[in-house]
Amino acid sequence: MGACHWKCCKDVDHNGTNANGSPSVDDPASSSSIQRIDDDPDWYLPSRKYQAKIDELILQTLKVIGKIGIENPPEVLLKLHTIADQEEGWIKVINSMVSVIPIDNPLGPAVIVFLLDDCPLPNKDTVIRLCKMFDLSKESSTKGRRTPCQQCNMCIILGLLAEKLAGPSSVAMLTQGTLEYLVANLPKVGYFAAASFMSFQQCRFNFGNKSTFLFPPSREFQCFNEHASLTDEDRIVLPRHIQMEQLRNILVQEDSCTLCFDSKAEVTLRPCGHSQARCDAYSFESVRCTFEVTSGVWYYETKIRSAGVMQIGWATKKSKFLNHEGYGIGDDEYSVAYDGCRQLIWHDAKSEDPPNEGMWHPGDILGCLLDVEARESVFYLNGRVVAVTSHLFNVNLPPGERHIQMEQLRNILVQEDSCTLCFDSKAEVTLRPCGHSGFCKKCCVMISECPMCRAKISAIEL
Amino acid sequence: MSALPRRIIKETQRLMQEPVPGISAVPDESNARYFHVIVTGPEDSPFEGGLFKLELFLPEDYPMSAPKVRFITKIYHPNIDRLGRICLDILKDKWSPALQIRTVLLSIQALLSAPNPDDPLANDVAELWKVNEAEAIRNAKEWTRKYAMDN
């Protein structure tokens, strides 16, 4: 994590000026209002006064998100988190995201995912309120006051909520109006509407509320199908004439690399023998080559097709890619990657600025060199060195060390009378009215139903 | 990553010391919240004889929210879709923090013994299961042989 954004946040808090010189927060009065959101107990009451401040916090998040390590949320995120803790605040945060996140910022969807992940999930009433506020219908998608950018943000939010709330809440969101809204949006915001659609469809299968789900008229349905095939066809979409098996054969026969897919990223084999990877999902998908190198000097080039956030580099077999948790190359100690959008070198989920200017643009060529003997990797942009790093070779974990850690885990003692949910604290409370016990106070405040019998908890007795 | 909660350590210990028959769940070497799971197909089910690989991930707020579980091995089952996602109430709205990794995996094994085509995730499979159960079972056996028996 770079030191820079902490500095920015502090500057805003204490001096009322922003080191980045953003015009909106240069005004001392406005930044002192940001501070007040935390202090004023009535900040969440219906009032437009805070909406602008939340807008500002969202834009700040967008600015710093590039530097965020997975484990170190910056202050601005914590503030938004506090705000979204109450229903009114949550609605406001969503509202702000819809209105201020720009469509052309490749980090926009990432901010939405990050905030929704981080904030408490809304209850059914809040979700219904949100849908009402969105005013979802066929008409609103064409005639509404909202810009295409706001429509796009709304589709992303709807899709994410449908996925997260899989259950009655998500079914409640999927009204005829929502459905028509998404379908009408397909030609405009394409993938995002389709992805949202797929999330709902998934939930409908789970909860079987068939009455709310009616397929749209045929022409639009056709259009939906074309978009939808991006996500749901066996995890990977290949052009019809190249089957997966053939692809493998070609690659193996040429004694070149094989690609390993476990994501929504789309990989195509071009006639020239190059492969092309594309990802339209808003989760961090990864593609990796499984060809192993242990010695010598290796080099490959990637032509950048869009200027978005991507991490490209080298990984060992141990590197784990978890798309929904946001882990990809550069996010653990076993890989190193370069991202020319945020202009950062990534290793072990920490970023550092490269020594040389390295913003990438569509059509640029990123070169990745691995020199096993010299123990370094070099990143080139259009032939010019951007950074030299030896990160990948500094991992000196003896092969057995992980096992030793597991062994130690096994030997941790757990007290007999500890809470059966967390095993951290003493079990000291009884739930009323059901009378079940064996839990600590800390766990009990996080649940509303008894873990044993699902009876509603009306009181916790010490 | 913050320190591993004692609850996860405790569950992991128990999975190692008293494994559930027909189920193996091993934490990943580099991520103690990610488990490599193998479930054997239950006897007298179309999945008998198969070894099904799954992945299980304990989210940050586990046990307050359910583990995320997915079949990696392809399986022909009305409640499991092509991406291996599982339709099981305890993984969704019926999750309780008193449930554990082992109880979740036992429930999944039970789901293999008792497919429920009335609450489908894979619609085409469920449809066939309802109209022509014999053929659906044949398909399930065929997939088990093809995808779950090769090693």
State the average pLDDT over residues B11-34.
Answer: 87
> Are B112 and B45 within 8 A, CB to CB?
yes
Predicted local confidence at residue B51, as pLDDT: 94
* The domain made up of B6-149 is a member of CATH 3.10.110.10: yes
What is the rounded distance in angstroms from the CA atom of residue B77 to the CA atom of residue A201?
Answer: 18
Q: Could you read off the pLDDT of A343-366 as tens digits, one per residue? A: 888 888 788 888 777 788 888 888
Q: Rounded to a whole number, what is the distance in Å from the CA of B134 to chain A's nearest CA?
A: 23
Of the listed ranges A56-65, A249-258, B28-37, B133-142, the least confidently predicted one is A249-258
Per-residue pLDDT at B37:
94
Best of B1, B93, B94 to disrupt the A interface by mutation (most A CBs within 10 Å)? B93
Closest CA to A350 of A335, A330, A320, A324: A330
| Chain A residue with the nearest C-alpha to that of B88 | A206
Cross-chain CB nearest to B63 (options A202, A324, A421): A421
Sequence ranges of the domains in chain A: 42-185, 191-240+275-396, 414-461
Range with lowest mean pLDDT among A4-13, B90-99, B111-120:
A4-13
Comparing B56 with A1, the larger pLDDT belongs to: B56
**Residue A131: per-residue pLDDT:** 83
Say yes or no to pLDDT of A280 above 60. no
Q: Which two tokens stand for residue A421?
A: 């949910």
pLDDT band at A6 (very low <50, low <70, confident <90, very high): very low
What pLDDT, on the 0 to 100 scale, is given for residue A12?
32
Top residue of B83, B95, B119, B125 to mutate, by most chain A CBs within 10 Å, is B83
Compute the residue count for chain A. 462
Do residues B68 and B57 lie in contact, with contact meaning Cβ atoms separated by under 8 Å?
A: yes
Mean pLDDT of B136-140: 94
Q: Given this model, what pLDDT does residue A153 score? A: 82
Q: Work out the percent of chain B whose per-residue pLDDT is above 90.
A: 62
Cβ of B6 under 8 Å from any chain A Cβ? Answer: yes
User: CA torsion sign, A101 to A102 to A103 to A107?
Assistant: negative
pLDDT in tens, A405-445: 445 554 555 566 889 898 888 888 999 899 999 899 989 98
CA atoms within 13 A on the CB side of A308: 16
Q: Which fold has domain A191-240+275-396?
A: Jelly Rolls (2.60.120)
Q: Write down the mean pLDDT value for chain B.
A: 89
Mean pLDDT taken over chain A: 66
Q: Do B96 and A454 touch (CB under 8 A)?
A: yes
Report chain A residues whose CB lies below 8 A from the CB of B28.
320
Tokens 């609103």 correspond to A140
Q: Which of the four pLDDT bands, split at 50, 70 and 90, describes residue A73?
A: low
Please indicate whether, in this complex, the C-beta atoms of A205 and B121 are within 8 angstroms of each other.
Answer: yes
Banded pLDDT at B143 (limits 50, 70, 90): very high
Token pair 């195509």: residue: A268
Cα separation, A416 vs B90, whole angstroms:
27
pLDDT of the residue at A189: 59
Would the CB atoms of A206 and B97 count as touching at under 8 Å? no
Q: Give the burial class of A458: count Cβ atoms within 10 A of its Cβ; 0-12 exposed, 13-18 middle, 19 or more buried.
A: exposed
Burial category of A96 from C-beta neighbours within 10 Å (exposed 0-12, middle 13-18, buried 19 and up): buried
- Averaged pLDDT for residues A193-212: 48
Closest residue to A421, CB basis, from B7, B119, B121:
B7
Per-residue tokens: A126? 């809040």
ipTM: 0.82
C-alpha separations of A198 from A193, A257, A450, A457, B48 in Å:
9, 33, 34, 36, 33
Architecture of the domain spanning A414-461: 2-Layer Sandwich (3.30)
Is pLDDT above 90 for A404? no
pTM above 0.80, yes or no: no
Query: Taking residues A144-157, what's their average pLDDT?
Result: 77
End-to-end CA distance of chain B: 35
pLDDT, mean of residues A104-127: 78
In the annotation, is B87 catalytic?
yes
What's the pLDDT band for A254 if we cut at 50, 70, 90?
very low
Selection from A279-283, A367-371, B33-37 with the highest mean pLDDT: B33-37
- Whether A59 shows a pLDDT value over 50: the answer reads yes
pLDDT category at A64 given cuts 50, 70, 90 is confident
**pLDDT at residue A350, as a whole number:** 81
Q: Where are the domains of chain B?
A: 6-149
Using a CB–CB cut-off of 8 Å, the residues of A that contact B are 71, 166-168, 202, 205-206, 208, 232, 234-235, 318, 320, 322, 324-325, 332, 334, 402-403, 406, 409-410, 412, 414, 418, 420-424, 443, 446-447, 449, 451-452, 454
- Most A CBs within 10 Å, among B4, B9, B34, to test the A interface: B9
- The residue from B69, B87, B91, B126 that is catalytic is B87
